[in-house]
Amino acid sequence: MDSKVDDLLEFDFKPIVLIKTDEKPENAIGPKSNRGYGCVMTFIGRTIKDRIPSVFEKDTISCFGAIVGLGFGNGYKESDMGLECFASFLSTGLKDAEDKEKMIKYTVLAGAGIACLLTIGIVGLIDSRR
């Protein structure tokens, strides 16, 4: 597929397209239902690198941000953490969280990388790299 945007910006990788459909390509990859955590970015990375189609369904995604980003609803509201906790996660982290106890609970349950982000937030991470 030729892309004027790709030609103009000279990307390292060819762009991909997201298509909402009821049909699943025969050779598609994607997370399995009820199999625990499967990061959509792993599959999207393979799609970009190897040009293999990825397929996602709401019940195969355990990342609430991916539920939102792929158009399957408001995963932030649907999560146990709730919208306010994600608002802190996506901004300044624990320091400005309304419910600090709830945020600490999820920080303890999360893996090290996510625990760091829950504590300092995305804004804190960006600020720390400047």
Digit-coded pLDDT (tens) for 25-62: 989 998 877 655 567 888 888 999 999 999 988 888 87
Q: How many domains does the chain have?
A: 2
pTM above 0.75, yes or no: no
Do residues 58 and 111 share a domain? Answer: no
**Spans of the chain below 70 pLDDT:** 1, 34-38, 89, 107, 109-130
Residues 59 and 107 in one domain: no
For residues 88 and 66, membership in a common domain is answered with no
Q: Could you tell me the residue range of the domain that residue 85 belongs to? A: 80-128
Q: Are residues 61 and 10 in the same domain?
A: yes
- The whole-number pLDDT of residue 53 equals 92
Question: DSSP H helical segments within the chain, as ranges?
Answer: 4-9, 40-50, 64-69, 75-78, 82-89, 100-109, 112-128
Q: Are residues 26 and 11 in the same domain?
A: yes
Residues 58 and 93 in one domain: no
